[in-house]
Structure 1
Amino acid sequence: MSGAAPLELGPALLHCWPLPQPGIDGDKEKRGHVLVVAGSAEMPGAAILAGEAALRAGAGKLTIATAASIAPLVGVAIPEARVIGLAETAAHGFQSDSARRLAEVAGKADALLAGPGMQDEGSCVELVHHLLQRCSGIPVLLDATAMCAVHPRGEPHLLDDAVDWEHFRFGTPVLLTPHAGELARLTGGVRRNIEQEPHGAAQAAAERWNAVVALKGATTVLAAPGGTLWQHQGGNAGLGISGSGDVLAGIIAGLLARGASLEQAAAWGVVLHGQAGEQLALRCGPLGYLARELAAEIPALLRILASA
């Protein structure tokens, strides 16, 4: 692992790393199509938060695949989206034919986000691995339960198949967005140790899985498989609220659909998310603003950061 100091994520760095911009005559197709696979009967809001954030980040088209029981609710909440209802398992996951149903739209998407609000780890891992096969040519972000695709510790029966989980690596890098607790569970490590040494933990995970890892926390660390590290220390305590991570994942997915690389989308997404929290803290106070309010701050912040 590289011993280089991490690069500080902030307006100055992002100014030198501009996002892809559509032309003046660019339509929704030119701005990218995001496929968000998210939500469950008990957590419909995760799909809504992530989907809206993807659009606020500038994506042109949005398809949300979610549990059939909540699909009408999600469609009403985000009328801009196409919503696909997937049959559910008894544990509130998606049934095994879901990958087949999503094959056509996955082939037309420019970015895939999977995981926010998903339940039933077994069915989630199965679906993610099928989607990875169908989405090999587009950027993929795995969040929340979908990150168990690297090692489904909660489902021992999944370890009996042909996958060598202890040495699993993505053939093509994907983006993972764990907090310290999630990374501890995925690696078998200790959360406190990860919190004390986030740079080393993020870089080790990036090398281990051939993934870009955004380790979320008071200091968020972004690590690429090649050894490059970034860190961000902005934001405030108010961002530690239910749904905040779903918004961050959606922002990053929207930037991926616009043509940003995994590293660039994660870097911009982390800074935008942190600055959205800072803007809300100025108006509402440092605690008590809601995750659903973050996405509306993103368009103006994109303009400000692009000209900083």
Structure 2
Amino acid sequence: MKPPPPANGEKPHRPARPRALTEALLARWPLPETARDADKEARGQVLVVAGSHEMPGAALLAATAALRAGAGKLIIAAPEQVAQGLALAIPEARVIGLATTRTGGFSTRDCDRLAPLGERVSAVVLGPGMQDEAHSVAFVGTLLPLFRQSTVVLDAYAMSVAGQQPFEQPVVMTPHAGEMAHLTGLTKEAVQADALATARAWAARWGACVALKGATTFVAQPDGTALRFDGGTPGLATSGSGDTLAGLIGGLAARGAGPLHACAWGVLLHARAGAALAQQHGALGYLAREIPGQVPALIQSLGHRPARRPATPAQPR
């Protein structure tokens, strides 16, 4: 998407080059601190609305990642057919069973059951493992206004709500190139040919922080601020990996990180966890369920990495 030429003969504005997303950057941009005597409420509540009867594991992966990122409390809303199994698999969570349509999507009639959480939840992760795009979009569109005070992470079919209504809260979207093509009407090849420009253009159009995933991942804000991350590993291209990333970002947002802040930390932690697993198991073959277990130690390590400059930017430029 190219900007129109200026009418007054001035040189066209060139967006700033993206900042490299590195450990050094995050050392100058630490996560919100939690007092030693703070309780779990101080680290926020995260709501994960995810899964389907065919993919209940997506909810489990995203929810586990949110807790490993440091969220204080976890609520999972999942199809009623799989809710009990999820409650047993992750006993740390409160689990709410939601009605589904005949085609496997969530029913909008259950949005009212989640409405009371709107005043308490700091972050919401919507979409991992959802089925039936049409019903998912209707459900997400009904649910979003109930969580105006929360940061919302949209993944998978939940992202299809973008552009259909203005977002009333901070939103993060996590598409890969194929999903970005589906959302925008571009070809996958066009998305990959200029991923940075695509991420920037659609972040501005949607009013969301967009993490366009790939061998190089670009994170873009609506104002054009962008980060570039080149440190991915091949093994991260595996089933459930994206669900885990969405959960990490949601957990970090629950702790108080803003959209770009949570996204930057989530992308780098996800990649470094993959690198650690590659050292243990080999470049390929480690599992998405193993990624969250690496995260607490990585956060601890990055949090104690000395900064090269004393200043801590509110937002990287």
- Which TM bucket (shorter chain)? over 0.9
1:104 counterpart (116, 122, 129): 116
Supply the distance in 2 between the matched residues of 1:265 and 1:213 (Cα, whole angstroms). Answer: 12
- Cα deviation for residue 171 of structure 1 reads 4.1
Give me the CA root mean square deviation. Answer: 1.1
Residue 300 of structure 1 aligns to a residue whose secondary structure is: helix
Q: 1:204 aligns with which of 169, 189, 201?
A: 201
3-state DSSP of counterpart to 2:95: strand
Q: Is the 8 A contact 2:62 2:128 kept in 1?
A: yes
* Identical-residue share of aligned pairs (%): 52
Name the counterpart of 2:238. Answer: 241
Deviation at 1:235, TM superposition (A): 2.3
Q: What SS class does the counterpart of residue 42 from structure 2 fall into?
A: coil
- Deviation track 1:47-85 (CA, whole Å, cap 9, x = no partner) reads 000000000000010000000000011111100000000
Residue in 2 aligned with 1:185?
A: 182
Report the CA distance between 1:123 and its aligned residue: 1.9
The corresponding residue for 2:81 is 69
- Tell me, what secondary structure is at the counterpart of 2:286? coil
Instruction: State the one-letter code of the partner of 2:202.
Output: A
Determine if the alignment matches structure 1 residue 7 to structure 2 residue 4.
no
Q: TM-score, normalised by structure 2?
A: 0.90
Tell me how far apart the structure 1 counterparts of residues 260 and 299 of structure 2 sit (CA, whole Å).
17
1:1-308 equivalences under 5 Å are: 2-150=14-162, 165=164, 169-308=166-305
- Cα shift at 1:96: 2.2
Partner of 1:30, secondary structure, is helix
Structure 1 unpaired stretches of 5+: 152-164
Cα distance in 1 for residues equivalent to 2:256 and 2:79: 28
Q: Which runs of 4+ in 1 moved over 6 A?
A: none
Count of aligned residue pairs for this structure pair: 293
Q: Structure 2, unaligned stretches of length 5 or more?
A: 4-13, 306-317
2:297 partner SS: helix
CA shift digits 1:172-206 (9 cap, x unpaired): 44111000110111100010111121100000110
* Distance in structure 1 (CA, Å) of the matches to 2:168 and 2:39: 33
The residue type paired with residue 193 of structure 2 is Q
- Separation in 2 of the partners of 1:169 and 1:195? 27
Structure with the greater alpha carbon radius of gyration = 2
Question: Paired residue for 1:160?
Answer: none
Q: Secondary structure at the match of 2:43?
A: coil
For residues 43 and 290 of structure 1, what CA distance do their matches in structure 2 show?
16
2:204 aligned counterpart, secondary structure: helix
| 3-state SS in 2 of match to 1:221 | strand
What is the distance in 2 between the residues matched to 1:16 and 1:205? 28
Counterpart of 2:100 in 1: which secondary structure? coil
In 2: Cα distance, 1:135 partner to 1:302 partner: 28
2 CA distance for matches of 1:189 and 1:171? 26
